[in-house]
Amino acid sequence: MLYQETREEVLKFAVKCLEHGLIHGTAGNVSMRVPGEEAVVITPSGIPYDTLKPEDLPVVSLWGEVIDGDLKPSSETPMHTAIFRARANVNGVVHTHSMYATVMSIMQKEIPAMVPPSSAFAPVPCAPFQLPGSKELAETVVATLGEDHLACTMQNHGQITCAPTLAMAYKGAETVEECAQIAYLAYQAGSMQGLPEDARVELRRRALKGQAV
């Protein structure tokens, strides 16, 4: 099977998203750059992830053209491939409609770094609304992520994380959702205070070097 290890990795984390409540049904997608290739493995469109086998996952080029696989790639393939083209250091992307990150996107609120584990991914800016699956959404997300953000929300849509590894992108999706929940509850309590900026910068530096935070 072409790119077997990468396909297995993408399916593993797609199922983890499903099992941990980050993705409901097929409302989300996961992708990984094939090491050393201008190719991406991505989850297919509209098929429950826990029914798939690794060989079912489509492989596309960095421009979204199908290289291998019989199933239709995710409708959000343009967004995933745009991120890979823009960020050479990104090898994994996770997009979910997790509850609190989506609520924060509807509020159009940036998610601050609330607790130390969130420091690598927060603050999480919100990209303005564009139609799902569109070239405009891909461009808006890439612009919102900029050169060093590892996560953003999309207005009325959900969240997306990207990282040097798919495992880190998945961890980011968990972290952003937890951070969004804490921020939302703090807003409702009437007092919201994120991490001090100097602490956030130092904790991010440690996290990106692989040090515990």
Q: How many CA atoms lie within 13 A of 175 on its CB side?
A: 28
In the numeric block, the tokens 């050169």 are attached to: 147
- CA-wise closest residue to 116 among 172, 180, 195, 184: 195
Cα(34)–Cα(185) distance, integer angstroms: 39
Q: How far apart are CA 106 and CA 156, in angstroms?
A: 5
Task: Find the catalytic residue in 9, 76, 174, 177.
Answer: 76
Strand segments, DSSP code E, in 59-145 are 59-61, 66-68, 92-96, 126-127
Q: Which amino acid is located at 179 in the chain?
A: C
CA geometry: angle at 100 spanning 151 and 211, to 5°? 45
Both tokens assigned to 205: 């530096």
Which residue, 87, 92, 64, is CA-closest to 160? 92
Residue 19 host element (H or E): helix 4-19
Helices (H), 87-149: 99-107, 135-145
Establish whether 147 is a catalytic residue. Answer: no
Q: Show which residues are catalytic.
A: 76
